[in-house]
Structure 1
Amino acid sequence: MQLITFYKYQGTGNDFVMIDGRTQEIKLNSEQIHNICNRRFGIGADGVIILKNHPKLDFEMDYYNADGSQSMCGNGGRCAVQFAKHMGILKNEFHFLAIDGEHIATIEDSGWVHLKMKDVYSIKSINNDYELNTGSPHYIKLVANLDNINVVEEGRAIRNSEAYEQEGINVNFVQTINDTSIFVRTYERGVEDETFSCGTGVTAASLVSAHNDRGFNRIEVETLGGKLAVEFDRINEEAFNNIWLCGPATFVFKGEKTLA
Protein backbone atom coordinates (compact mmCIF):
# COMPACT_ATOMS: atom_id res chain seq x y z
CA MET A 1 0.00 0.00 0.00
CA GLN A 2 1.28 3.48 -0.86
CA LEU A 3 -0.19 6.81 0.21
CA ILE A 4 0.24 9.51 -2.43
CA THR A 5 -0.55 13.21 -2.40
CA PHE A 6 -2.09 14.31 -5.68
CA TYR A 7 -3.18 17.55 -7.31
CA LYS A 8 -6.01 17.84 -9.80
CA TYR A 9 -5.55 20.26 -12.74
CA GLN A 10 -7.58 20.93 -15.86
CA GLY A 11 -6.93 22.70 -19.13
CA THR A 12 -10.16 23.55 -21.00
CA GLY A 13 -11.85 20.56 -19.38
CA ASN A 14 -9.05 18.10 -20.18
CA ASP A 15 -8.28 16.99 -16.61
CA PHE A 16 -5.27 15.36 -15.00
CA VAL A 17 -4.09 13.90 -11.72
CA MET A 18 -0.66 15.38 -10.99
CA ILE A 19 1.87 13.67 -8.71
CA ASP A 20 5.22 15.10 -7.61
CA GLY A 21 7.73 12.29 -8.09
CA ARG A 22 10.87 14.37 -7.54
CA THR A 23 11.44 13.39 -3.89
CA GLN A 24 9.94 9.91 -3.90
CA GLU A 25 9.87 7.25 -6.59
CA ILE A 26 6.39 6.84 -8.04
CA LYS A 27 5.78 3.71 -10.09
CA LEU A 28 2.24 3.05 -11.23
CA ASN A 29 1.01 0.09 -13.22
CA SER A 30 -1.76 0.25 -15.81
CA GLU A 31 -4.40 -1.01 -13.38
CA GLN A 32 -3.52 1.65 -10.81
CA ILE A 33 -3.64 4.39 -13.45
CA HIS A 34 -6.97 3.14 -14.73
CA ASN A 35 -8.37 3.10 -11.19
CA ILE A 36 -7.08 6.63 -10.46
CA CYS A 37 -8.73 7.95 -13.64
CA ASN A 38 -12.04 6.14 -13.05
CA ARG A 39 -14.70 8.82 -12.55
CA ARG A 40 -16.95 6.65 -10.38
CA PHE A 41 -14.51 4.66 -8.25
CA GLY A 42 -11.33 6.75 -8.44
CA ILE A 43 -10.27 10.38 -8.49
CA GLY A 44 -11.44 10.88 -12.06
CA ALA A 45 -9.27 12.20 -14.89
CA ASP A 46 -8.33 11.85 -18.55
CA GLY A 47 -4.75 11.03 -17.55
CA VAL A 48 -2.04 10.94 -14.89
CA ILE A 49 1.11 13.09 -14.92
CA ILE A 50 4.18 12.39 -12.79
CA LEU A 51 6.67 15.23 -12.35
CA LYS A 52 10.24 13.92 -12.23
CA ASN A 53 13.72 15.36 -11.86
CA HIS A 54 15.88 15.86 -14.93
CA PRO A 55 19.67 16.30 -14.82
CA LYS A 56 19.73 19.31 -17.15
CA LEU A 57 16.16 20.57 -17.60
CA ASP A 58 13.67 21.98 -15.08
CA PHE A 59 11.71 18.72 -14.92
CA GLU A 60 10.53 15.68 -16.82
CA MET A 61 6.86 14.94 -17.45
CA ASP A 62 5.64 11.34 -17.57
CA TYR A 63 2.14 11.31 -19.04
CA TYR A 64 -0.16 8.30 -18.88
CA ASN A 65 -3.51 7.95 -20.60
CA ALA A 66 -6.39 6.52 -18.60
CA ASP A 67 -5.62 3.04 -19.96
CA GLY A 68 -2.00 3.22 -18.81
CA SER A 69 -0.46 3.89 -22.22
CA GLN A 70 1.98 6.78 -22.64
CA SER A 71 1.92 9.65 -25.11
CA MET A 72 2.48 13.38 -25.41
CA CYS A 73 -0.37 15.54 -24.16
CA GLY A 74 -0.48 19.25 -25.00
CA ASN A 75 -3.02 20.28 -22.38
CA GLY A 76 -1.26 17.99 -19.90
CA GLY A 77 2.03 19.71 -20.69
CA ARG A 78 0.52 23.12 -19.99
CA CYS A 79 -0.93 21.85 -16.71
CA ALA A 80 2.42 20.29 -15.78
CA VAL A 81 4.06 23.71 -16.13
CA GLN A 82 1.51 25.29 -13.79
CA PHE A 83 1.97 22.39 -11.39
CA ALA A 84 5.77 22.80 -11.51
CA LYS A 85 5.37 26.47 -10.63
CA HIS A 86 3.00 25.56 -7.79
CA MET A 87 5.60 23.10 -6.48
CA GLY A 88 8.29 25.80 -6.36
CA ILE A 89 9.97 25.65 -9.76
CA LEU A 90 9.94 29.38 -10.48
CA LYS A 91 11.19 30.31 -13.93
CA ASN A 92 10.41 32.91 -16.58
CA GLU A 93 10.84 30.15 -19.14
CA PHE A 94 10.39 26.46 -18.39
CA HIS A 95 12.36 23.73 -20.16
CA PHE A 96 11.13 20.17 -19.69
CA LEU A 97 11.23 16.73 -21.27
CA ALA A 98 8.19 14.80 -22.49
CA ILE A 99 7.93 11.55 -24.41
CA ASP A 100 8.27 13.38 -27.74
CA GLY A 101 11.30 15.43 -26.71
CA GLU A 102 12.17 18.76 -25.10
CA HIS A 103 9.61 21.55 -24.72
CA ILE A 104 9.68 25.22 -23.73
CA ALA A 105 6.83 27.01 -21.95
CA THR A 106 5.98 30.36 -20.43
CA ILE A 107 3.17 31.52 -18.13
CA GLU A 108 1.36 34.81 -18.75
CA ASP A 109 0.05 37.00 -15.93
CA SER A 110 -3.43 35.93 -17.02
CA GLY A 111 -2.58 32.32 -16.18
CA TRP A 112 -2.47 31.21 -19.80
CA VAL A 113 0.41 28.85 -20.54
CA HIS A 114 2.21 29.01 -23.90
CA LEU A 115 3.72 25.62 -24.73
CA LYS A 116 6.08 25.12 -27.66
CA MET A 117 5.19 21.97 -29.59
CA LYS A 118 7.34 19.83 -31.89
CA ASP A 119 7.88 20.96 -35.49
CA VAL A 120 5.78 19.23 -38.15
CA TYR A 121 7.19 18.30 -41.54
CA SER A 122 4.57 15.94 -42.94
CA ILE A 123 0.80 16.01 -43.46
CA LYS A 124 -0.67 12.97 -45.15
CA SER A 125 -3.81 13.43 -47.26
CA ILE A 126 -6.37 10.63 -47.02
CA ASN A 127 -9.16 11.35 -49.49
CA ASN A 128 -10.54 14.61 -48.01
CA ASP A 129 -9.09 13.93 -44.55
CA TYR A 130 -5.60 14.37 -43.09
CA GLU A 131 -3.14 12.58 -40.84
CA LEU A 132 -0.23 14.15 -38.96
CA ASN A 133 1.77 13.85 -35.75
CA THR A 134 2.02 16.78 -33.31
CA GLY A 135 3.57 14.72 -30.51
CA SER A 136 0.75 12.20 -30.80
CA PRO A 137 -0.82 10.88 -34.03
CA HIS A 138 -3.97 12.65 -35.21
CA TYR A 139 -6.62 12.12 -37.85
CA ILE A 140 -8.33 15.33 -39.00
CA LYS A 141 -11.78 15.28 -40.55
CA LEU A 142 -13.22 18.58 -41.78
CA VAL A 143 -17.00 18.80 -41.34
CA ALA A 144 -19.66 21.39 -42.11
CA ASN A 145 -21.65 21.10 -38.88
CA LEU A 146 -20.21 19.45 -35.76
CA ASP A 147 -23.62 19.38 -34.09
CA ASN A 148 -24.66 16.71 -36.58
CA ILE A 149 -21.65 14.46 -35.85
CA ASN A 150 -21.69 11.55 -33.40
CA VAL A 151 -18.10 12.10 -32.29
CA VAL A 152 -17.84 8.98 -30.14
CA GLU A 153 -19.37 6.61 -32.69
CA GLU A 154 -17.58 7.98 -35.75
CA GLY A 155 -14.32 8.61 -33.90
CA ARG A 156 -14.26 5.09 -32.48
CA ALA A 157 -14.90 3.62 -35.93
CA ILE A 158 -11.88 5.43 -37.42
CA ARG A 159 -9.65 4.75 -34.42
CA ASN A 160 -10.43 1.02 -34.60
CA SER A 161 -10.32 0.74 -38.38
CA GLU A 162 -7.81 -1.66 -39.95
CA ALA A 163 -5.27 1.10 -40.59
CA TYR A 164 -5.17 2.30 -36.96
CA GLU A 165 -6.43 -0.57 -34.83
CA GLN A 166 -3.00 -1.69 -33.57
CA GLU A 167 -1.32 1.64 -32.73
CA GLY A 168 -4.47 3.74 -32.36
CA ILE A 169 -5.02 7.33 -33.45
CA ASN A 170 -6.80 10.39 -32.09
CA VAL A 171 -9.68 11.51 -34.28
CA ASN A 172 -10.55 15.22 -34.59
CA PHE A 173 -13.67 16.65 -36.19
CA VAL A 174 -13.08 20.25 -37.26
CA GLN A 175 -15.61 22.90 -38.26
CA THR A 176 -14.44 26.20 -39.74
CA ILE A 177 -15.97 29.24 -38.04
CA ASN A 178 -14.11 31.86 -40.09
CA ASP A 179 -10.65 32.37 -41.60
CA THR A 180 -8.96 32.42 -38.19
CA SER A 181 -11.29 30.36 -35.96
CA ILE A 182 -12.25 26.69 -35.76
CA PHE A 183 -14.36 24.44 -33.55
CA VAL A 184 -12.76 21.10 -32.66
CA ARG A 185 -14.08 17.95 -30.97
CA THR A 186 -11.81 14.98 -30.36
CA TYR A 187 -12.10 11.25 -29.77
CA GLU A 188 -8.92 10.32 -27.86
CA ARG A 189 -7.17 6.98 -27.98
CA GLY A 190 -6.15 5.81 -24.51
CA VAL A 191 -9.22 7.48 -23.04
CA GLU A 192 -11.34 5.75 -25.73
CA ASP A 193 -13.97 8.44 -25.54
CA GLU A 194 -14.52 12.07 -26.41
CA THR A 195 -12.65 14.51 -24.17
CA PHE A 196 -13.58 18.13 -23.55
CA SER A 197 -10.36 19.23 -25.25
CA CYS A 198 -7.16 17.78 -26.70
CA GLY A 199 -4.05 19.98 -26.97
CA THR A 200 -2.14 18.01 -29.58
CA GLY A 201 -5.46 17.59 -31.43
CA VAL A 202 -6.30 21.28 -31.68
CA THR A 203 -2.68 21.89 -32.71
CA ALA A 204 -3.02 19.39 -35.55
CA ALA A 205 -6.40 20.82 -36.55
CA SER A 206 -4.99 24.34 -36.61
CA LEU A 207 -2.10 23.39 -38.88
CA VAL A 208 -4.49 21.80 -41.34
CA SER A 209 -6.62 24.97 -41.16
CA ALA A 210 -3.71 27.39 -41.77
CA HIS A 211 -5.05 30.52 -43.45
CA ASN A 212 -1.88 32.27 -44.67
CA ASP A 213 0.14 31.17 -47.69
CA ARG A 214 3.33 31.47 -45.65
CA GLY A 215 4.53 32.97 -42.39
CA PHE A 216 2.85 33.64 -39.05
CA ASN A 217 -0.57 32.20 -38.28
CA ARG A 218 -2.78 32.34 -35.21
CA ILE A 219 -5.85 30.14 -35.04
CA GLU A 220 -8.47 30.65 -32.32
CA VAL A 221 -9.93 27.31 -31.24
CA GLU A 222 -13.26 26.56 -29.62
CA THR A 223 -13.56 23.25 -27.72
CA LEU A 224 -16.25 21.82 -25.46
CA GLY A 225 -14.08 22.87 -22.49
CA GLY A 226 -13.24 26.40 -23.56
CA LYS A 227 -10.95 28.50 -25.75
CA LEU A 228 -7.40 27.80 -26.91
CA ALA A 229 -5.13 29.37 -29.50
CA VAL A 230 -2.42 27.91 -31.71
CA GLU A 231 0.36 30.06 -33.19
CA PHE A 232 2.85 28.86 -35.79
CA ASP A 233 4.95 29.70 -38.81
CA ARG A 234 3.89 27.98 -42.01
CA ILE A 235 6.91 27.16 -44.16
CA ASN A 236 5.05 25.29 -46.91
CA GLU A 237 2.07 22.98 -47.35
CA GLU A 238 3.50 20.33 -45.02
CA ALA A 239 6.13 22.10 -42.91
CA PHE A 240 5.46 24.15 -39.77
CA ASN A 241 7.70 25.42 -36.98
CA ASN A 242 7.53 27.78 -33.98
CA ILE A 243 4.30 26.01 -33.02
CA TRP A 244 2.80 27.21 -29.72
CA LEU A 245 -0.27 25.84 -27.94
CA CYS A 246 -1.76 28.61 -25.77
CA GLY A 247 -4.49 28.36 -23.16
CA PRO A 248 -5.49 28.14 -19.50
CA ALA A 249 -4.22 25.57 -17.00
CA THR A 250 -6.08 25.60 -13.70
CA PHE A 251 -5.63 24.00 -10.28
CA VAL A 252 -8.83 22.25 -9.11
CA PHE A 253 -8.11 20.51 -5.81
CA LYS A 254 -5.55 18.59 -3.73
CA GLY A 255 -6.00 15.26 -1.99
CA GLU A 256 -4.54 11.99 -0.81
CA LYS A 257 -5.14 8.48 -2.08
CA THR A 258 -3.95 5.06 -0.98
CA LEU A 259 -2.83 2.84 -3.84
CA ALA A 260 -3.08 -0.91 -3.57
Structure 2
Amino acid sequence: MTTTLQFSKGQGTGNDFVLFADPDGEVDLDPVTIRALTDRRFGVGGDGVIRAVATRAMPGGAVEYVGADHGTEWFMDYHNADGSLAEMCGNGVRVFARFLTERGLVTLAEGEPLRVGTRAGVRVVERSPDGFRVDLGAWRLEDGEPTVRARELHAARPGLPLSVGNPHVVVALASDDELDALDLTYVPVLDPAPADGANVEFVVPSDPLVVDGVGRIRMRVHERGSGETLSCGTGAAAAALATRHWAGSAAPSSWLVEVPGGVVGVTMVPGDDGEHVTLSGPAELVFSGALGL
Protein backbone atom coordinates (compact mmCIF):
# COMPACT_ATOMS: atom_id res chain seq x y z
CA MET A 1 0.00 0.00 0.00
CA THR A 2 1.40 3.37 -1.03
CA THR A 3 1.36 6.21 1.50
CA THR A 4 1.45 9.82 0.30
CA LEU A 5 3.80 11.91 2.39
CA GLN A 6 3.03 15.63 2.51
CA PHE A 7 6.37 17.26 3.30
CA SER A 8 8.09 20.62 3.53
CA LYS A 9 11.72 21.47 2.88
CA GLY A 10 13.19 23.84 5.47
CA GLN A 11 16.57 25.40 6.16
CA GLY A 12 18.43 27.42 8.76
CA THR A 13 21.59 29.06 7.35
CA GLY A 14 21.79 26.28 4.78
CA ASN A 15 21.33 23.42 7.26
CA ASP A 16 18.39 21.77 5.46
CA PHE A 17 15.75 19.27 6.45
CA VAL A 18 12.77 17.33 5.15
CA LEU A 19 9.88 17.92 7.57
CA PHE A 20 6.45 16.33 7.83
CA ALA A 21 3.62 16.12 10.34
CA ASP A 22 2.67 12.73 11.78
CA PRO A 23 0.63 13.68 14.86
CA ASP A 24 -0.50 10.13 15.66
CA GLY A 25 2.88 8.50 15.00
CA GLU A 26 1.60 6.36 12.12
CA VAL A 27 4.53 6.67 9.67
CA ASP A 28 7.26 4.05 10.02
CA LEU A 29 10.53 5.86 9.29
CA ASP A 30 13.16 3.25 8.49
CA PRO A 31 16.78 4.10 7.56
CA VAL A 32 16.26 3.17 3.90
CA THR A 33 13.35 5.61 3.57
CA ILE A 34 15.30 8.35 5.35
CA ARG A 35 18.30 7.92 3.06
CA ALA A 36 15.97 8.05 0.03
CA LEU A 37 14.33 11.27 1.25
CA THR A 38 17.64 13.03 1.97
CA ASP A 39 19.36 11.94 -1.27
CA ARG A 40 20.19 15.16 -3.14
CA ARG A 41 19.96 13.58 -6.59
CA PHE A 42 17.16 11.03 -6.31
CA GLY A 43 15.15 12.41 -3.38
CA VAL A 44 14.17 15.72 -1.82
CA GLY A 45 17.63 16.28 -0.36
CA GLY A 46 18.60 17.35 3.12
CA ASP A 47 20.94 16.99 6.08
CA GLY A 48 18.22 15.16 7.99
CA VAL A 49 14.54 14.30 8.38
CA ILE A 50 12.29 15.83 11.05
CA ARG A 51 8.99 14.17 11.93
CA ALA A 52 6.51 16.22 13.98
CA VAL A 53 4.81 13.78 16.34
CA ALA A 54 2.38 14.60 19.12
CA THR A 55 4.23 13.80 22.34
CA ARG A 56 1.29 11.65 23.48
CA ALA A 57 1.84 9.39 20.44
CA MET A 58 5.49 8.69 21.23
CA PRO A 59 6.22 5.40 23.04
CA GLY A 60 5.50 6.00 26.71
CA GLY A 61 4.43 9.53 25.87
CA ALA A 62 8.16 10.28 25.46
CA VAL A 63 8.25 10.48 29.26
CA GLU A 64 11.98 9.71 29.37
CA TYR A 65 12.64 12.87 27.33
CA VAL A 66 10.01 15.36 28.54
CA GLY A 67 9.37 13.99 32.03
CA ALA A 68 6.34 15.55 33.67
CA ASP A 69 6.42 18.59 31.36
CA HIS A 70 2.83 18.43 30.16
CA GLY A 71 3.24 21.69 28.23
CA THR A 72 5.33 19.89 25.62
CA GLU A 73 2.75 19.07 22.97
CA TRP A 74 5.10 18.27 20.08
CA PHE A 75 8.11 15.98 19.79
CA MET A 76 10.84 16.54 17.19
CA ASP A 77 11.75 13.06 15.95
CA TYR A 78 15.07 13.78 14.22
CA HIS A 79 17.11 11.48 11.99
CA ASN A 80 20.47 12.17 10.34
CA ALA A 81 20.78 11.85 6.57
CA ASP A 82 22.27 8.35 6.91
CA GLY A 83 19.18 7.18 8.78
CA SER A 84 20.69 7.19 12.27
CA LEU A 85 18.92 8.77 15.22
CA ALA A 86 20.26 11.99 16.76
CA GLU A 87 19.64 13.48 20.18
CA MET A 88 18.56 16.82 18.74
CA CYS A 89 19.57 19.52 16.26
CA GLY A 90 19.95 23.22 17.05
CA ASN A 91 19.07 24.56 13.62
CA GLY A 92 16.55 21.76 13.19
CA VAL A 93 14.54 22.71 16.27
CA ARG A 94 14.34 26.31 15.04
CA VAL A 95 13.15 25.17 11.59
CA PHE A 96 10.75 22.81 13.38
CA ALA A 97 9.23 25.83 15.15
CA ARG A 98 8.81 27.58 11.80
CA PHE A 99 7.13 24.46 10.37
CA LEU A 100 4.70 24.10 13.29
CA THR A 101 3.69 27.77 13.19
CA GLU A 102 3.35 28.11 9.41
CA ARG A 103 1.35 24.88 9.16
CA GLY A 104 -1.02 26.11 11.85
CA LEU A 105 -0.12 23.31 14.24
CA VAL A 106 0.75 25.81 16.99
CA THR A 107 0.17 29.51 17.58
CA LEU A 108 3.22 31.37 18.84
CA ALA A 109 2.94 35.02 19.82
CA GLU A 110 5.95 37.32 20.17
CA GLY A 111 7.75 36.43 23.40
CA GLU A 112 5.70 33.27 23.96
CA PRO A 113 7.75 30.10 24.58
CA LEU A 114 7.24 26.92 22.57
CA ARG A 115 8.32 23.77 24.39
CA VAL A 116 9.66 21.08 22.04
CA GLY A 117 10.44 17.51 23.05
CA THR A 118 13.74 16.04 21.79
CA ARG A 119 15.84 13.03 22.70
CA ALA A 120 18.07 15.44 24.62
CA GLY A 121 15.11 16.71 26.66
CA VAL A 122 12.77 19.68 26.33
CA ARG A 123 14.05 22.66 24.36
CA VAL A 124 12.36 26.09 24.57
CA VAL A 125 12.00 28.12 21.35
CA GLU A 126 10.73 31.67 20.85
CA ARG A 127 10.58 34.13 18.00
CA SER A 128 13.57 36.46 17.58
CA PRO A 129 14.21 39.47 15.33
CA ASP A 130 16.15 37.27 12.89
CA GLY A 131 13.90 34.22 13.04
CA PHE A 132 13.81 31.90 16.04
CA ARG A 133 15.91 31.49 19.19
CA VAL A 134 16.28 28.22 21.07
CA ASP A 135 17.64 27.56 24.55
CA LEU A 136 19.87 24.53 23.98
CA GLY A 137 20.01 23.84 27.71
CA ALA A 138 22.96 23.33 30.02
CA TRP A 139 26.25 22.51 28.35
CA ARG A 140 29.28 20.74 29.78
CA LEU A 141 32.93 20.11 29.09
CA GLU A 142 33.69 16.43 28.66
CA ASP A 143 36.69 14.48 29.91
CA GLY A 144 39.57 13.54 27.66
CA GLU A 145 42.00 15.18 25.28
CA PRO A 146 41.23 13.81 21.80
CA THR A 147 43.32 14.61 18.76
CA VAL A 148 41.78 15.21 15.35
CA ARG A 149 43.11 14.41 11.90
CA ALA A 150 41.45 15.80 8.78
CA ARG A 151 42.19 15.73 5.07
CA GLU A 152 44.52 18.64 4.13
CA LEU A 153 45.29 19.31 7.80
CA HIS A 154 48.93 18.29 7.83
CA ALA A 155 49.23 17.32 11.48
CA ALA A 156 46.87 16.07 14.16
CA ARG A 157 45.43 18.85 16.30
CA PRO A 158 44.10 18.82 19.86
CA GLY A 159 40.34 18.97 20.20
CA LEU A 160 38.11 20.16 23.02
CA PRO A 161 35.24 17.72 23.74
CA LEU A 162 31.96 19.13 25.03
CA SER A 163 28.24 18.41 25.00
CA VAL A 164 25.42 20.70 23.93
CA GLY A 165 22.83 17.94 24.23
CA ASN A 166 24.83 16.06 21.58
CA PRO A 167 28.58 15.38 21.36
CA HIS A 168 31.13 17.76 19.81
CA VAL A 169 34.89 18.09 19.45
CA VAL A 170 36.15 21.59 18.58
CA VAL A 171 39.51 22.24 16.91
CA ALA A 172 41.22 25.65 16.72
CA LEU A 173 42.99 26.47 13.44
CA ALA A 174 45.57 29.16 12.79
CA SER A 175 44.16 30.91 9.71
CA ASP A 176 41.33 31.28 7.22
CA ASP A 177 43.53 29.61 4.61
CA GLU A 178 43.89 26.53 6.80
CA LEU A 179 40.13 26.43 7.37
CA ASP A 180 39.32 26.87 3.67
CA ALA A 181 41.78 24.14 2.62
CA LEU A 182 40.09 21.38 4.67
CA ASP A 183 38.52 18.56 2.68
CA LEU A 184 35.57 17.53 4.81
CA THR A 185 34.22 15.07 2.27
CA TYR A 186 36.39 12.73 4.35
CA VAL A 187 35.37 11.94 7.92
CA PRO A 188 37.77 13.49 10.47
CA VAL A 189 39.54 10.87 12.57
CA LEU A 190 39.27 11.24 16.36
CA ASP A 191 41.74 9.55 18.68
CA PRO A 192 40.40 8.13 20.88
CA ALA A 193 37.24 7.58 18.86
CA PRO A 194 34.04 8.32 20.84
CA ALA A 195 31.80 5.28 21.15
CA ASP A 196 28.81 7.15 19.67
CA GLY A 197 30.79 9.45 17.35
CA ALA A 198 30.83 13.24 17.49
CA ASN A 199 30.33 16.34 15.40
CA VAL A 200 33.69 18.00 14.67
CA GLU A 201 34.01 21.78 14.38
CA PHE A 202 37.04 23.61 12.97
CA VAL A 203 37.26 27.21 14.14
CA VAL A 204 39.23 30.36 13.29
CA PRO A 205 38.87 33.50 15.45
CA SER A 206 38.27 36.81 13.71
CA ASP A 207 40.80 39.62 14.01
CA PRO A 208 39.91 41.40 16.20
CA LEU A 209 38.19 38.65 18.16
CA VAL A 210 35.73 41.00 19.90
CA VAL A 211 33.89 43.94 18.33
CA ASP A 212 31.46 46.03 20.41
CA GLY A 213 31.40 43.37 23.10
CA VAL A 214 30.52 40.52 20.72
CA GLY A 215 32.94 37.71 19.85
CA ARG A 216 33.32 36.66 16.21
CA ILE A 217 34.55 33.37 14.74
CA ARG A 218 34.40 31.36 11.51
CA MET A 219 33.54 27.67 11.52
CA ARG A 220 33.21 24.63 9.32
CA VAL A 221 31.73 21.38 10.58
CA HIS A 222 31.57 17.68 9.80
CA GLU A 223 28.33 16.36 11.29
CA ARG A 224 28.05 12.82 12.55
CA GLY A 225 25.69 10.98 10.21
CA SER A 226 25.43 13.79 7.63
CA GLY A 227 28.94 14.84 6.53
CA GLU A 228 29.93 18.46 6.00
CA THR A 229 26.94 20.76 6.29
CA LEU A 230 26.58 24.46 5.54
CA SER A 231 25.70 25.07 9.17
CA CYS A 232 25.27 23.25 12.47
CA GLY A 233 23.45 25.01 15.29
CA THR A 234 24.76 22.99 18.20
CA GLY A 235 28.16 23.04 16.46
CA ALA A 236 28.12 26.84 16.36
CA ALA A 237 27.27 26.87 20.05
CA ALA A 238 30.07 24.40 20.78
CA ALA A 239 32.54 26.46 18.74
CA ALA A 240 31.64 29.66 20.59
CA LEU A 241 31.86 27.91 23.97
CA ALA A 242 35.26 26.44 23.11
CA THR A 243 36.61 29.79 21.89
CA ARG A 244 35.44 31.52 25.06
CA HIS A 245 37.07 28.73 27.10
CA TRP A 246 40.38 29.25 25.31
CA ALA A 247 40.17 33.06 25.43
CA GLY A 248 39.75 33.19 29.21
CA SER A 249 37.58 34.94 31.76
CA ALA A 250 37.53 38.30 29.96
CA ALA A 251 35.88 36.78 26.85
CA PRO A 252 32.29 37.85 26.10
CA SER A 253 29.16 35.74 26.45
CA SER A 254 27.67 36.84 23.09
CA TRP A 255 29.07 35.55 19.81
CA LEU A 256 28.45 35.71 16.08
CA VAL A 257 29.45 32.53 14.30
CA GLU A 258 30.03 32.66 10.55
CA VAL A 259 29.30 29.37 8.82
CA PRO A 260 29.27 28.64 5.07
CA GLY A 261 25.49 29.16 5.04
CA GLY A 262 25.36 32.46 6.89
CA VAL A 263 25.66 33.78 10.45
CA VAL A 264 24.06 32.59 13.70
CA GLY A 265 24.09 34.14 17.14
CA VAL A 266 25.18 32.30 20.29
CA THR A 267 24.72 33.60 23.83
CA MET A 268 25.60 32.06 27.19
CA VAL A 269 23.04 32.71 29.95
CA PRO A 270 22.63 31.58 33.58
CA GLY A 271 20.30 28.66 34.29
CA ASP A 272 19.03 26.83 37.36
CA ASP A 273 20.97 23.71 36.36
CA GLY A 274 24.12 25.49 35.19
CA GLU A 275 25.01 27.82 32.35
CA HIS A 276 22.79 27.52 29.30
CA VAL A 277 23.59 28.42 25.70
CA THR A 278 21.10 29.89 23.23
CA LEU A 279 21.14 29.86 19.42
CA SER A 280 19.40 32.38 17.15
CA GLY A 281 19.18 32.89 13.43
CA PRO A 282 16.98 32.56 10.35
CA ALA A 283 14.73 29.54 9.83
CA GLU A 284 12.72 29.25 6.62
CA LEU A 285 10.49 26.84 4.72
CA VAL A 286 11.66 26.62 1.13
CA PHE A 287 8.97 24.55 -0.59
CA SER A 288 6.39 21.84 -0.01
CA GLY A 289 5.36 18.75 -1.95
CA ALA A 290 4.07 15.19 -1.85
CA LEU A 291 5.84 11.87 -2.26
CA GLY A 292 4.59 8.30 -2.49
CA LEU A 293 6.25 5.96 0.02
Q: Which residue of structure 1 aligns with residue 167 of structure 2?
A: 137
Q: Which structure 2 residue ranges, 5 or more long, are not aligned?
A: 57-69, 148-157
Q: Secondary structure at the match of 1:231?
A: strand
- Structure 2 residue matching 1:209: 3-state secondary structure: helix
- Equivalent residue in structure 1 for 2:84, among 46, 49, 69: 69
**Counterpart in the other structure of 1:182:** 217
Point out the structure with max Rg over C-alpha: 2
Contact 2:268 2:278 in 1 (8 A): yes
Q: Does 1:82 align with 2:98?
A: yes
Quote how far apart the aligned CAs of 1:42 are: 0.3
CA-CA distance at 1:171 after TM superposition: 0.8
Per the TM alignment, residue 148 of structure 1 is displaced from its structure 2 partner at its CA by: 2.4
Deviates more, 1:217-226 or 1:86-95: 86-95
2:123 is equivalent to residue 115 of structure 1: no
Is residue 147 of structure 1 aligned with residue 177 of structure 2? Answer: yes
Once residues 220 and 30 of structure 1 are traced to their aligned partners in structure 2, the CA distance between those partners, rounded to angstroms, is 35
Residue 137 (structure 1) shift: 0.7
Q: Is the 8 A contact 2:81 2:225 kept in 1?
A: yes
Q: Which amino acid aligns with 1:202?
A: A
Q: How many residues of Structure 1 are paired with residues of Structure 2 in the alignment?
A: 252
What residue in structure 1 maps to residue 67 of structure 2?
Answer: none
Q: CA RMSD in A?
A: 2.3
Change (3 A) 1:154 1:80: closer
Cα displacement (A) at 1:131: 0.4
Deviation at 1:243, TM superposition (A): 1.3
- Given that residues 203 and 217 in structure 2 are in contact (C-alpha distance below 8 angstroms), is that contact kept between their aligned partners in structure 1? yes
Query: What is the CA–CA distance in structure 1 between the aligned matches of 2:221 and 2:274, rounded to whole Å?
Result: 22
What corresponds to 2:268 in structure 1?
232
Distance change in 2, residues 1:153/1:53 (3 Å): closer
Displacement, 1:96? 1.1
> What is the distance in 1 between the residues matched to 2:185 and 2:42?
28
Q: Which moved more, 1:113-122 or 1:12-21?
A: 113-122
Aligned 1:207-226 pairs, distance under 5 A: 207-210=241-244, 213=249, 217-226=253-262
Question: Do the aligned residues in 1 keep the contact of 2:188 with 2:200 (CA within 8 Å)?
Answer: no
Q: How does 1:1-260 map to 2 (within 5 A)?
A: 1-23=2-24, 25-55=26-56, 56=70, 57-71=72-86, 72-88=88-104, 89-91=106-108, 92-108=112-128, 110-124=129-143, 126=145, 128-149=158-179, 150-153=181-184, 156-158=187-189, 163-164=193-194, 166-177=195-206, 178-179=209-210, 180-191=215-226, 193-210=227-244, 213=249, 217-233=253-269, 241-259=275-293
TM-score normalised per structure 2: 0.80
Unaligned runs of 5+ in 1: none
Q: Structure 1-normalised TM-score?
A: 0.89
By how many angstroms is 1:111 displaced? 4.6
Divergent runs of 4+, >4 A: none
